[in-house]
Amino acid sequence: MDFTGIKTNLEKKGYAVSCFATKEEAAAYLNGQIDGKTVGIGGCATAKEMGLGESLQGHNQVSWHWNGDPRESAMATDVYISSVNGIAKTGEIVNIDGTGNRLAGTLFGHKKLYLIVGCNKIADDLDGAIWRARNVAAPKNAVRLNRKTPCAATGGKKCFDCKSPERICKALLVFWERPIGIPETEIVLVDEELGY
């Protein structure tokens, strides 16, 4: 995929952007950049697929809930790592959350935020990114979390805008531009499908 257009649009919105052909190259880059830090990782399938928790743990102090660490321990780290549920070629970024820790972690309390984005997360515009977050990412996450929701019961193919007590979609966050609560945010674009 040609990242030229999205990279330019993200840079105009205040982000640093780095681009990689493979998840292994992206993971090696992040391991070089993040050293001797405290690191929080949200519930991020992308980071899991990249083996980032394991590799960063060797030379950083890492908190992530795949390890059973309490969510709060990732909230005041130097570095926070997450993915996104949808990103527009025009530069807007979309995330949906049920608990709120992942959204909060991308907004405040850290010195640097990395958002790792596989090419499957990219939509043409903001409407497309929101549609993807609601109808692709959230249902697949509901399946992964084994929730009793209509989207999970039907294989995670679409959102039913359910009223289930186990609904995972409680909040939707759009970055129109880079929020200033975290001094630096870098978008790491990877030309492979990663996460949901």
Q: Whats the size of the chain, residue-wise?
A: 196
Separation of alpha carbons 160 and 137, rounded Å: 13
User: Between 52 and 159, whose beta carbon lies closer to ligand SF4?
Assistant: 159
Cβ–Cβ under 8 Å, residues 52 and 79: no
User: Between 67 and 154, whose beta carbon lies closer to ligand SF4?
Assistant: 154
The Cβ of residue 62 has, within 10 Å, a number of other Cβ atoms equal to: 25
Shortest distance in whole angstroms from residue 165 CB to ligand SF4: 10
Shortest distance in whole angstroms from residue 164 CB to ligand SF4: 6
Shortest distance in whole angstroms from residue 161 CB to ligand SF4: 5
∠ CA 176-190-47, rounded to 5°: 85
Shortest distance in whole angstroms from residue 167 CB to ligand SF4: 4
Shortest distance in whole angstroms from residue 134 CB to ligand SF4: 6
User: Between 32 and 163, whose beta carbon lies closer to ligand SF4?
Assistant: 163
User: Amino acid letter at 6?
Assistant: I
* Cα Rg of the chain (Å, integer): 16
Return the structure tokens found at 56: 């960063």
User: Between 13 and 158, whose beta carbon lies closer to ligand SF4?
Assistant: 158
Return the structure tokens found at 190: 């990877």
- What would you measure as the largest C-alpha separation in the chain, in angstroms? 44
Site residues for ligand SF4 per CB under 6 A: 138-139, 142, 149-151, 159-162, 164, 167-169
User: Between 55 and 164, whose beta carbon lies closer to ligand SF4?
Assistant: 164
